[in-house]
Amino acid sequence: MSNEARFRQNVQDYLEGRATPEQVLQMNQELRSDLDSRRAFREMLNLDSALMEATKEMMHETAEVTAELSEESAPQVQFEPTPEKVSASSPDGGNNHHWVSLLFLIAASLMILAGSLVWFAKSPEFAIVEYAAGAQSLSTGMTIGTESHFIQAGTVQLVTTRGTRIAIEAPALFSFESAQRLQLKHGRLAADVPQEAHGFTVITPTGQAIDLGTKFGVDMPEAGEAEIHVFEGEVVAQSTDGGNLSNLRNSQAFRLQSAAGTPSSFRSGAFIQPGEVDSLSAALQAGQPKRSQWALQELRDDPQLIALFDFETEQKQPGKYRCVQGRWPGSQAAEFVNVGDHMKLDVGGERLWPQLTLAAWVRLDHLGEPYHSLLHTDGWDDTKKGQVHWMVTRLTTMRLALRDNKLAPSDRPNEGFPDSQTSVLPEQGRWVHLATVYDSDKKTVRFYFNGKFDSESKLSQAHPARLGPAQIGNWNTLDRTLSGRIDEMLILGRAMSDAEMEHLFAAGNPYR
């Protein structure tokens, strides 16, 4: 036996408590004098510790499943202490996890003795698919164990055996290590963690998020760093490279970069939440994508159509934005996240448009300062009367401003521009259909939310609309990033009626 092989055998025997005095003597000498032996020793013992953890968790999961299966024989164990209970406990509160593990082991061993080893041979089940909206490889009712899953399109909602609800949006690659540990290689998820599942952890290539009682989201792009967003409660974020822990609370976000992390802007609407997936799924089953396609085809045949961006074509519009999933499984939308993100377009030419309809499916992340551009023609030039700026204001209303137009005197408080009456706030974090209809002859601006007429602003001076070079999601003069996604953007050279608008919304609605 070579020296190296003998050393390995000694370490393995030592691990099992079988080493003889002679072997320990040899190990002492070798470890004292040789750096590489010490490294090999540390790595093997480190692995032993990891094996201890993993097998303990396995016992834990199996004990739970068995406890559920045979209620009468299962000891009633409080699985995880709640933070309140822990924080109010006696000074050995830190050992709580330990005692809980110990109780599990006792429970598990009792059951082993009573029921042989049969259930270890069964592959573990950590979660069940509650809804699968357009995800081909997963279907409702399917159970999930340790295998990896790739979803290319759609959204799935899972419930773990501990009751954590997780919505995962494609494209995503993930696998469970246990019901409490989910590896997310890439993709986006939102988790709603009940008290029983505190400590639920999402592990990404650049760091992990440990729940302390929350609703939170993790965005892991295929290349880049994971972002943790806390909707409610508290989460601990930790970079893989051992960076410091960061405690995140309500409406905070954090980017897990190598070694350290940095605060990031909060984007609630970037995540499809548990609870949203069922209505997305119902709409798919009702055949909504087909209806939407027909409605788009009708619009493409409209002689007054100026532009219709559905982001499905292979040729990407110029600009700086991400391509993410749209309203339908596998469809595309543009996502604007960082300051300066935008999409360029140049439509409508030099022509003046007495009537104009603008409509878009939008998913807003956060609102407030500054303005959020839906469509802004470049500049704000007094020689270009009628140039169009369509946005969500810092007061969260919708606005359609045309250069040199004037609002008729009215009782409604406003900032001198035609603004919607309703705020887009309640729809934040879901897909919403925003639209406005401009008529320079009638001197009116009409606003629509989700196909429903909201309000009309009257003008005393109304120029025909002027388009040309413009940006979707920003303005070329000052930052007006729209934080969120835009799916379809319609620019039509005529005024749509209320009935048409209702039809447009109903045909394209991704929810049921």
Partner 1 sequence: MWRASNMLMSKTSRNARFVREFACHEEAIRAYVRRLAPSRSDADDILQEVAMVLWEKFDEFQEEGNFRSWAFGFARYKVLSWLRDHGRRRLVLDSDVVALIADESNEEDRHLEQQRHAFRSCFAKLPSDQRSLLANAYHPDMKIQEVAATSGRTTAGFYQWLYRMRQMLLECVQRQLASEANL
CB 64 within 8 A of CB 178: no
Interior CA angle at 332 toward 331 and 336, to 5°? 150
Enumerate the H helices of 272-402 as residue ranges.
Answer: 277-285, 288-300
Residue 307: which of 503, 501, 472, 481 has the closest Cα?
Answer: 472
Q: Which is nearer to partner 1, 50 or 286 (CB)?
A: 50
Which residue type, as a one-letter code, is found at position 62?
Answer: T
How many other CB atoms sit within 10 Å of the CB of residue 59? 19
For partner 1, the binding residue among 3, 70, 78, 95 (CB under 8 A) is: 95
- Give the one residue of 3, 12, 70, 285 binding partner 1; rule: CB under 8 A: 12
Residue from 54, 114, 323, 425 binding partner 1 (CB under 8 A) = 54
Q: Can residue 4 be called a binding residue for partner 1 (CB under 8 A)? A: no
Minimal distance, residue 166 CB to partner 1, in Å: 18
Would you count residue 65 as binding partner 1 (CB under 8 A)?
A: no
Question: At its nearest, how many Å lie between partner 1 and the CB of residue 205?
Answer: 8
Q: Determine how many CB atoms are found less than 10 A away from the CB of residue 351.
A: 12
Shortest Å, Cβ 265 to partner 1: 25
Shortest distance in whole angstroms from residue 121 CB to partner 1: 6
Distance CA 427, CA 122 (A): 45
458 three-state secondary structure: strand
**Among the residue ranges 11-19, 375-383, 391-399, 453-461, the one whose residues contact partner 1 (CB under 8 A):** 11-19
Preceding amide of 171 cis, omega within 30: yes
2 binds partner 1 (CB under 8 A): no
468 contact partners, CB below 8 Å, separation of at least 6: 346, 347, 348, 349, 350, 377, 378, 387
- Among 70-78, 80-88, 486-494, 504-512, which window interacts with partner 1 (CB under 8 A)? 80-88
According to CB under 8 A, which residues from 192 to 211 bind partner 1?
199, 203, 210
Which of 109, 250, 251, 477 touches partner 1 (CB under 8 A)?
109
Q: Which of residues 151-190 bind partner 1 (CB under 8 A)?
A: 175, 177, 181, 183
Does residue 249 interact with partner 1 by CB under 8 A? no
Q: Is 235 in the site for partner 1 (CB under 8 A)?
A: no
CB contact set of 182 (below 8 Å; sequence gap of 6+): 166, 174, 175, 176, 189, 200, 201, 202, 203
Residue 39 contacts partner 1 per CB under 8 A = yes
Residue 58 makes contact with partner 1 by CB under 8 A: yes
Q: Tell me, what amino acid is at 229?
A: H
* 193 contacts 212 by C-beta, under 8 angstroms: no
114 binds partner 1 per the rule CB under 8 A: no
In the complex, what is the shortest distance from the CB of residue 105 to partner 1, in angstroms, rounded to a whole number? 7
Q: Which residue among 98, 290, 316, 322 contacts partner 1 (CB under 8 A)?
A: 98
